[in-house]
Amino acid sequence: MSQPTFITNDTELHQRIMKLNYLKEEQELIIKRNVREIGYSLHPSVMLKNFISKFTDDSETNTSLKSLGLNIGKDFLLSKLFGKGQSFKGFLMSLVLRKVSDYVVNKHPELITNGIQKIQSFVSKHLTHSEHTNE
């Protein structure tokens, strides 16, 4: 702890008040920054990102999460396109497409990446072409 300072005149008093005000302002800025950082870290998206990053540090877990995401997306699309249990034909088509998509996802993931890139380039070309036509 610091030694007590004895103030002997009016000038020293004003100087001490200025130092204390400066110290107070510095501490308030530090506290405000800390409160903002805490608020930011408590934001749901940041919490989710931090939670997921703890699991994705391991490459095997990262691959498992990607595979799980692809399978969930695939099942969702298949159920939306063909509807489960609508008819025998729909069921067979769903079963065949699921087996084909499993094969593609597991054996040839580069086909999915190439397909997504082709769709993105087609959409971007189409959007650029339509923007030029509108002008």
Do residues 37 and 13 both lie within one domain?
yes
Do residues 24 and 78 both lie within one domain?
no
pLDDT digits (tens, 9 = 90+) for 77-129: 776 676 655 565 665 676 677 777 777 777 777 777 777 778 888 877 776 66
pLDDT digits (tens, 9 = 90+) for 2-35: 677 788 899 999 999 999 999 999 999 999 999 9
Q: Using CA atoms, how far apart are residues 65 and 106, in angstroms rounded to an integer? A: 14
Do residues 21 and 62 both lie within one domain?
no
Do residues 92 and 78 both lie within one domain?
yes
Do residues 11 and 61 both lie within one domain?
no
Do residues 67 and 35 both lie within one domain?
no
46-84 burial, b at 16+ Cβ within 10 Å, e below that, comes to: eeeeeeeeeeeeeeeeeeeeeeeeeeeebeeebeeebee
Do residues 101 and 68 both lie within one domain?
yes
Segments forming the whole domain that contains residue 2:
1-42
* Contact indicator for 82, 93 with CB cutoff of 8 Å: yes
Which of 104, 49, 117, 93 has its CA nearest to residue 71?
A: 104
Do residues 18 and 60 both lie within one domain?
no
Do residues 106 and 51 both lie within one domain?
yes
Its pTM stands at: 0.36
Do residues 96 and 53 both lie within one domain?
yes
As for how many domains the chain has, the answer is 2
Q: Is the dihedral of CA 104, 105, 110, 115 positive or negative?
A: positive
Which of 128, 129, 104, 102 has its CA nearest to residue 114?
A: 104
